[in-house]
Structure 1
Amino acid sequence: MGPVQQRLRQALTSQFQPAALEISDESHLHAGHMGARPEGETHFRVRIVADAFRGKTRLERHRMVNSAVADELAGPVHALAIHADAP
């Protein structure tokens, strides 16, 4: 797990105390595409389950996740696929 992925994990864990959290680095699938860097850690997929998402729409859940990792999205992360659900 690289440093960007670790920071994503830390931010999401701190913000949501998730029941489940999976973060996959999919940068290798985007080599040569816009936003890809040779060192990777630019494209991620997040699967998170947390009580904080209960009663929220999919758009609201995505906005919550994006807000929690805004620093990474403003820097090294080019793309973030989000699957956020309540338990």
Structure 2
Amino acid sequence: MGLEDQIRNRLEEALAPTELEVINESHRHAGHAGDDGSGESHWHLVIASPRFEGKSRIARHRAVHAALGPDIMGRIHALSMDLR
């Protein structure tokens, strides 16, 4: 299972999103700092989840990081998020 599927599975399990986009942007950073050559170093997430209601932006980001866990977060160089 590739990293994209792992990210998707963890987020679906933890956040029950009504919208989820997992976008690999690594190709846009080829040869730049943080590009480890894996093609799976830079990601953008779009997530809408009722579990974000009433939470601050920082709390939402922390929830995503917790859902992904240290094993996945340790493999990602850059992670941008649009959380609603």
TM-score by length of 2: 0.92
1:61 equivalenced with 2:60 (yes/no): yes
> Over aligned residues, Cα RMSD in angstroms?
1.2
Question: Structure 1 stretch 41-50 or stretch 26-35: which is displaced more?
Answer: 26-35
Quote how far apart the aligned CAs of 1:10 are: 0.4
Unpaired segments ≥5 residues, structure 1: none
Runs of 4+ in 1 over 4 A off after TM superposition: none
Query: How many angstroms apart in 2 are the aligned matches of 1:68 and 1:35?
Result: 22
Alignment partners' CA distance in 1, 2:5 and 2:34:
20
Q: Give runs of aligned pairs for residues 1-87 of structure 1, distance below 5 A.
A: 3-70=2-69, 71-74=71-74, 76-85=75-84
- Matches of 2:65 and 2:32 in 1, distance apart? 22
Q: How many residues align?
A: 83
- Structure 1 distance, partners of 2:67, 2:45, is 12
Q: Measure, in 2, the Cα distance between the counterparts of 1:48 and 1:54.
A: 12
Whole-angstrom distance in 1 between the partners of 2:41 and 2:83 = 20
TM-score by length of 1: 0.89
In structure 1, distance between residues paired with 2:39 and 2:73: 14
Tell me the SS of whatever aligns to 1:14: helix
Question: Which residue type is aligned with residue 23 of structure 2?
Answer: S
Q: Matched residues in 2 for 1:33 and 1:67: separation?
A: 27
- Secondary structure in structure 1 of the residue aligned to 2:83: strand
**Structure 2 residue ranges without an equivalent (≥5):** none
